[in-house]
Amino acid sequence: MGMVKLIFVALLVFVGFFLLKKFRKPVNTTAQQPSANKMVACSVCNTHIPENEAIIQNGKVYCSKEHLK
């Protein structure tokens, strides 16, 4: 009967480690990747915004339509 208890305890430990590994919080890998959007500064207020959201006119960068005027 001692060998059955040993196998049962070993099985419980194995299942415990498996569940712990499975439900552990995943590591956020997106923070390590460089951003695809280049940040640019508004010519009026110097606020940095992604280039794809910026308004570019006459070689100058603006963060909003109000600053474009």
Note the pLDDT tens digit of each residue in 47-57.
Answer: 999 999 999 99
Of the two residues 68 and 49, the one the predictor is more confident about is 49
Note the pLDDT tens digit of each residue in 9-49.
Answer: 999 999 999 888 888 876 665 555 555 688 999 999 999 99
Per-residue pLDDT at 37: 80
Question: Which residues 6+ apart lie within 8 Å of 62 measured at CB?
Answer: 42, 43, 44, 54, 55, 56, 68
Per-residue pLDDT at 41: 95
Domain boundaries, the chain: 2-26+35-68
Which of 17, 27, 56 lies closest to 40 in space, CA to CA? 56
- pTM attached to this predicted model: 0.47
| CA-to-CA dists, residue 17 to 5, 13, 24, 25, 65, angstroms | 18, 6, 10, 14, 56
